[in-house]
Amino acid sequence: MLALFDEALALGRTLIAPRAAVRWLDVTDRSRDALIAGGVTLTIPDIERLWGRVDRVAAGVCTIGEALERRVSALWDARELPLAVMLDSVGSGAVESLAEYVNDALCRDGVRLGVKVTNRISPGYGTWDVAEQSRLFRLCPASMVDVSLNDACFMLPAKSISLLIGAGLDARVDHYFSQCARCWMAECAYRRVPARRPVHR
């Protein structure tokens, strides 16, 4: 298994093309279950309790491109199933790491501006309806990184992650897990726990 993982990781590194696009917007109105920014209402159950008062949001999308997915499909067709599954897992890990890196970069922006930055959330996770993906895509510049959305709110390429974060003086940080435990910003004024290890850059 370790040899298979090493092979998939080496192959994945040749196929991954990480890119991200983010847009900051002012929050023009808010309620217990919604935020309005850029003329778009995002309905997110319990967002006021989870995030506190946020004055700005960043809407973004991260992707590693479609080359890895194409290779997984080719391996599947060739019945190289163990390598196909392992390579697919490498791709999933890569795009998740990219999203964490982007969230950390946004936190660094917030520290520089003297505001707190929330954890990232995405449509389809928790109680946020996946159908909200189309509204989020009206705010984030997904076309800049060649990510599109089909009628079922499924992103193409599939190894993509959309995200929304909030920022403000009174924003709540780490409402469901301690992002600080794996954040690489040693001098952050809002650090709650020591970092265990950094996100790979």
Provide the residue-wise pLDDT of the chain in tens; the chain has 201 residues. Answer: 889 889 999 999 999 999 999 999 999 999 999 999 999 999 999 999 989 999 999 999 999 999 999 999 999 999 999 999 999 999 999 999 999 899 888 988 888 888 999 989 999 888 899 999 999 999 999 999 999 999 989 999 999 999 999 999 999 876 444 566 666 566 676 666 666 655 454
- The rounded Cα 63 to chain-centroid distance in angstroms is 9
pLDDT at 27: 97
**CATH of region 2-182:** 3.40.109.40
pLDDT given at position 154: 92
Instruction: Tell me the residue length of the chain.
Output: 201
Q: Are 42 and 34 in contact (CB under 8 A)?
A: yes
pLDDT of residue 169: 93
Which residue type is seen at 63? T
Q: What is the dihedral of CA 38, 40, 45, 46, to 10 degrees?
A: 30
> What pLDDT does residue 104 have?
86
For residue 29, the model assigns a pLDDT of: 96
As a whole number of angstroms, the distance between CA 149 and CA 151 comes to: 7
Chain-centroid distance, C-alpha 147: 13
> On the CB side of 163, how many CA atoms lie within 13 Å of its CA?
27
Lookup: tokens for 69: 């997915």
pTM for the full model?
0.83
pLDDT value at residue 63: 97
**96-122 residues labelled b (16+ CB within 10 A) or e (exposed):** ebbbbbbbbbbbbbbbeeebbbbbbbb
pLDDT at 175: 45
